[in-house]
Amino acid sequence: MSFLPRSFYARNTVTVAKELLGKRLVRKVNGKTMSGIITETEAYRHKDDPASHAFRSKTERNKVMFEQVGRAYIYFTYGMYFCFNVVARNPKSKAGAVLIRSIQPELGVDIMKKNRRKYDLKNLTNGPAKLSQALDITKKQYGVDLTRDSNLCITKGLEKTRKIIASPRVGIKSGLDNLWNFKIT
């Protein structure tokens, strides 16, 4: 497997969000592998982005957004869900992360269905909390290094690049003029 190097993540968060499309997210649990192709992402930056968790200050929850790029930022939301992000930013910026909103399942579909207790393939991993549930990603993976072989990592993925659709980010009230949601079909 070829992992995306640390340098991949040490660029503008918006650039990384776009380029993560088509890459492969790999998760191993109990010796079994699940994987999927990233099909939707969102960029969240720092002081210039009021919608970002890092906008106000560094806290216990968001601290990894300020730390080494290429690590997992995972947060708990709505009382029952986890969302998975990758820390990424230009070295000149102090914080940033890319929310992974959707993947197209490849390996381990049966395990994902079991984890979700839902069996409809279309709704298995097409949302940030859905894919976390399918891949059994929780706060335990907070800060995991995604650039090397481990239980959670990102590899090169597809050779061919597809057309990227840019939109406003989902579920936020500020920064709507930034088209920082990216997807491929």
Partner DNA sequence: CTTGGGATGGTCT
Partner DNA sequence: GACCATCCCAAGG
Residues forming contacts to DNA in the complex (CB under 7 A) are 42, 44, 51-54, 56-57, 59-62, 65, 73, 75-81, 83, 85, 97, 99, 116, 118, 123, 127-130, 169-173
Q: How far apart are CA 156 and CA 20, in angstroms?
A: 9
Is the CB of 77 or the CB of 167 nearer to DNA?
77
Nearest approach, Cβ of residue 107 and DNA (Å): 20
What φ, ψ does residue 60 adopt, rounded to 5°?
-60, -40
Is the CB of 42 or the CB of 136 nearer to DNA?
42
Is the CB of 60 or the CB of 159 nearer to DNA?
60
Nearest residue to 37 via CA among 100, 90, 95: 100
Nearest approach, Cβ of residue 6 and DNA (Å): 20
Is the CB of 1 or the CB of 179 nearer to DNA?
179
Nearest approach, Cβ of residue 1 and DNA (Å): 26
- Cβ contacts of 85 within 8 Å, gap of 6 or more: 44, 65, 72, 73, 74, 75, 97, 98, 99, 100
Nearest approach, Cβ of residue 129 and DNA (Å): 3
Q: How far apart are CA 148 and CA 164, in angstroms?
A: 27
